[in-house]
Amino acid sequence: MCEIGKAFEECTTSISNTWPNLNEINIEYCDDLVEIPAWVCGLIHLKKINLRYCQELVTLLLELGNLTNLEVLRLQSCTQLVELPESISGLQEMRFLDLSDCVEMDHLPEWLGDLCGLQKIRMMGCTAISELPPSVMDLVQLECVICDDETAYLWNFYKDYLDKLEIVVVKEDINLNWLHKRSA
């Protein structure tokens, strides 16, 4: 596990000046990251942000909406994250959003349909989400929803409105066959 959240808070270097053309940032498995460092929002060329398994992440900064080139936002297993900031509704380049296992998120925002470039969304294990906002009908570029059975049920209603939509249900595959190889 990474414990770099405190270092981010104490960082005095201007990251956006040091790496002005940085287009991808991976901060995975950081168990002390409560919010995205503010300097991330100054990296205007970012195309991909990966915050998977940052289980203490509670909030995303409003300034995230300044990242107009952002195409990929991975938030898988950010188990304390409750909501997405409305500021990202203007991210027209967003192609892929991963909310899998964001178990505290109990709804998708009404403005989700404003992400007109969204092509793929991953929503496995979003157990608290019991309905989708009607604005998902505006996601005309949406090609693929990767989810579990429960979430597929929610998306099936909108399939008639979204011509390109394919709902891919991922079944949990518990395979322990590898165990016998380890004991040999």
- Return the amino acid letter for 115: L
Amino acid at 116: C
Q: Locate all alpha helices (DSSP H) within 114-148, ordered by sequence.
A: none
Amino acid 105: pLDDT: 97
**Is the alpha carbon torsion for 79, 103, 72, 67 positive or negative?**
negative
Position 14 scores a pLDDT of 62
6 pLDDT above the threshold of 70: no
DSSP H or E segment with residue 120:
strand 120-122
Structure-token pair, residue 55: 């289980």
Number of H helices, E strands in the chain: 4, 7
DSSP-H helix ranges across the chain: 5-10, 15-18, 149-156, 179-183
Q: Which has the closest alpha carbon to 85: 69, 71, 66?
A: 66
- Distance of alpha carbon 65 from its chain centroid, rounded? 14
What domains, with CATH codes, occur in the chain?
5-183 (3.80.10.10)
| Per-residue tokens: 139 | 């996601």
Residue 41 has a pLDDT of 87
Q: Which carries the bigger pLDDT value, residue 1 or residue 163?
A: 163
Contact between residue 92 and residue 68 where contact means Cβ atoms under 8 Å apart: yes
Residue-wise pLDDT tens digits, 62-115: 899 999 999 999 999 999 999 999 999 999 999 999 999 999 999 999 999 999
Q: What is the pTM of this model?
A: 0.87
Cα separation, 73 vs 93, whole angstroms: 11
> Which has the higher per-residue pLDDT, 4 or 44?
44
pLDDT for res 18: 76
Token readout for 155 is 């998306």
Structure token pair of residue 77: 């297993």
pLDDT tens sequence across 114-146: 999 999 999 999 999 999 999 999 999 999 999
Q: What's residue 58's pLDDT? A: 94
pLDDT at residue 11, as a whole number: 56
pLDDT digits (tens, 9 = 90+) for 11-60: 556 666 777 789 999 999 998 899 888 888 889 999 999 999 999 999 99
